[in-house]
Structure 1
Amino acid sequence: MISIRFLDQFKLYEDQSGMMSYAERVIRKAVNILERSCCNRLNLSAFEGGKKLRDDSIVVSMTTFPARISYVHLAIKSLLNQTVKPWKIILWLAKEQFQDVEIPEQLRALCAYGLEIRFCEEDLLAHKKYYYAMQDFPEQIIVTYDDDIIYPEDSLEKLLAMHRQYPDTIICNRGREIKMENGFVAAYKDWKVSGRVPVGIPSYRVMASTGAGTLYPPHCMPEETFDIEKIRALALTADDLWMKVMSIQGGVPVVKSQTRGKGLCISKKKQDVTLAHQNVDQNLNDQVIKNLLAHYPQALRALQEDGGRI
């Protein structure tokens, strides 16, 4: 049977996506269709204990909302299918959003294999994927993922490999390099994309793409990270920017785990409008980072002084 790992070899690298020929686009679409099908047909017995190496120091944390609850199980199945199995996977749901929403059986079935579904009082949008887990499991490594991607089987393994080299830094599979112009942060659209960001170099200027797989060592984030009022006032719709500035505040750089990542498979045929797309298309990220750096000028100074690392 065709596997997710087998299909991974046919994917283009992320930095090739803007120069694909028609044939390559057809191949990419076909691979995505096959990968969704493979993930959907994964036998639950593959997730049983003892068949994969489990690392009890790792908690995978993610969140979703009602519009995606019918297919979030695909992302979770791909995370249960990792070469290294986490201690647990927690899916955070805002209690208010799910009062009248039934949890699908195909999602509930995964609770027998390492998934926990937890309801939280505050709907902090994408911030939910780190906010509660880091406070409930302060001694664990927290790894965040998105709810609409089918992940390669070695996604977690790559993060852990780089974590062993840099145990006190944040590790990401995909990220951007924050571009500086005349001592100030350039427009978000001009930041270097993931494939052009050097691998294995700790830097304040690397911003993790928190949904593609980001590893946070225990106690790496300052207490201010969990200030709900500041999150709501400064960066409610931009969790990656908030975590970037907070990690600088805590003196923790970011390291990218792989030189060029393969394109990730979206778990739905037609992706819905996301906060990430809105933030980029409407230049909302530029306003958020401007507000954050005005509130935390020491973070801007750290970015200005970090140019020699990458």
Structure 2
Amino acid sequence: MIDFFSNLYASIRGRNSFLIKTKIYSIGRIVTRLSCNVILPIYLKVTSNNIQYKLQETNKTKGRIIVSLTSFNKRIGRVWIAIESILRQTCQPDMIILWLSKEEFPAIECLPKTLLRLQQRGVKIELRDGNLMSHKKYYYTLVEYPDDHMITIDDDIIYPSNFITSLLNGHRQYLECVISRFAFNIKRDGNNVILPYHMWSGKLLDRATSPSFDIFFGSGGGTFFPAHILGEEAKNITLAMEKCKFADDVWLNTMCRLNKKKIIVINNLFSYLPILNFSNSKLVAINNGQNQNDVQISNLREYYIRHFKTDPYSLLN
């Protein structure tokens, strides 16, 4: 059912100029999104007791595949749908961990029952002091599971069943790279100066022919981080919160470049099915609308140039 809606949504692309002008494509995508968000939750609940949609126990203590995500109060009622799509992968992860802030959820009992029931199927829900905002998505997994591979996802996306398989296939081919399914090419002017974020973040890469330092991934779109690839500096959460509090993507991309690790985009010929949250709040609106991604990239560049004599975003080969 997930793949049916994912394939249908991806197939509604602007190929015919007349249909584009008459907004038929836009209407089709809106109808598909609405239908999916009504029908799919019902289907997921009805089929949730299927044994194959439960995580299998593993004896491994390192090299595990961990899907790591976070959420907050305005999305917590629907995050279970994103997790269900991960439980129904053709290649299941070893662990799924949802990291939450105790400032928003003081006790596990505060969470919706739809989410709590997922614990019976192997999903871990971890509450932590303080609030690292979107940085919760990766930070605690890096610190507490340093020898395992991490896949970051968002809490408002429905992932197709081949999502993890495609990332693992990419990893087998490019062992020393970060693997992404959602990324852009960083654009520069004639003097190799990085252009403003909005000038290069509008066009997604379908795929990259070779690994590059100038690929900028969106971590929630599905990113595979092999164990230890980000380096110890990625755990410097004090600096991350000081310099790019609202942009975990900026921090993670900077860490890749700082650690001289390239990024590859694997087959990205699909469209993300969004989970509709009508009381939604998106950090992307803050970061893009107020040019905060540019500000936060600049903050990190200035810091590492001043203290380490290195510019993570210098032109690298």
In 2: Cα distance, 1:147 partner to 1:47 partner: 24
Tell me the C-alpha RMSD between the 2 structures: 2.7
Q: Does 1:121 align with 2:132?
A: no
2:248 & 2:236 partners in 1: Cα distance?
13
The correspondence for 2:100, drawn from 93, 101, 119, is: 93
Q: 1:38 aligns with which of 25, 28, 40?
A: 40
Aligned residue for 1:6? 4
1:29 aligns with 2:27: no
Compared CA separation, residues 47 and 250, structure 1 to 2 (3 A): farther
Query: Would you say the 8 A contact 2:55–2:87 is kept in 1?
Result: no
SS in 2 for 1:117: strand
Between stretches 108-117 and 187-196, larger displacement belongs to 187-196
Q: What is the CA-CA distance between 1:103 and the residue it aligns to?
A: 0.8
Contact residue 15 and residue 194 of structure 1 kept, 8 A: no
| CA displacement, residues 82-136 of structure 1 (integer Å, 9 cap, x when unaligned) | 1111111100011121127721111111111121000112311111111001121
| Structure 1 residue 157, shift from structure 2 partner | 1.2
**Total equivalences in the alignment:** 302
Picking from 263, 275, 290, the partner of 1:267 is: 275
- Kindly report which structure 2 residues correspond to 1:123-162, keeping only aligned pairs within 5 A, or say none: 123-162=131-170
Counterpart of 2:172 (choices 164, 178, 184) is 164
Q: Structure 2 CA distance, aligned partners of 1:5 and 1:167?
A: 28
Percent pairwise identity: 28
1:84 to 70, 83, 91: 91
Could you tell me which residue of structure 2 aligns to residue 305 of structure 1?
A: 316
Q: 2:78 aligns with which of 51, 56, 71?
A: 71
Unaligned runs of 5+ in 2: none
Indicate conservation of the 8 Å contact 1:150/1:264, yes or no.
yes
| Amino acid in structure 1 at the alignment position of 2:91 | V
| 2-structure distance, mates of 1:198, 1:72 | 28
Alpha-carbon shift at residue 35 of structure 1 (Å): 2.4
CA distance in structure 2 between the aligned counterparts of 1:301 and 1:160, rounded to whole angstroms? 27
Report the residue type matching 2:167 in the other structure: L
Q: Structure 1: any 5+ residue segments left out of the alignment?
A: none
- Read off the aligned partner of 2:316 and give its amino acid letter: E
* SS of match in other structure, 2:164: helix
Give 1:272's aligned amino acid: N
Give me the whole-angstrom Cα distance separating, in 1, the residues matched to 2:100 and 2:12.
Answer: 30
Quick check: 1:204–1:254 contact (8 Å CA) kept in 2? yes
**Aligned-partner residue type, residue 140 of structure 1:** D
Runs of 4+ residues deviating >4 angstroms:
13-17, 49-52
Number of the residue aligned with 1:251: 260
> Is the 1:195–1:261 Cα contact (8 Å) retained in structure 2?
no
Cα 1:303–1:159 shift into 2, 3 Å? farther
Greater share of strand: 1
| Secondary structure, aligned partner of 1:90 | strand
Match of 2:220 in 1: 211
- Indicate if the aligned counterparts of 1:47 and 1:80 stay in contact, CA closer than 8 A: no
Counterpart position of 1:48: 52
If the length of structure 2 is used for normalisation, what is the TM-score? 0.87
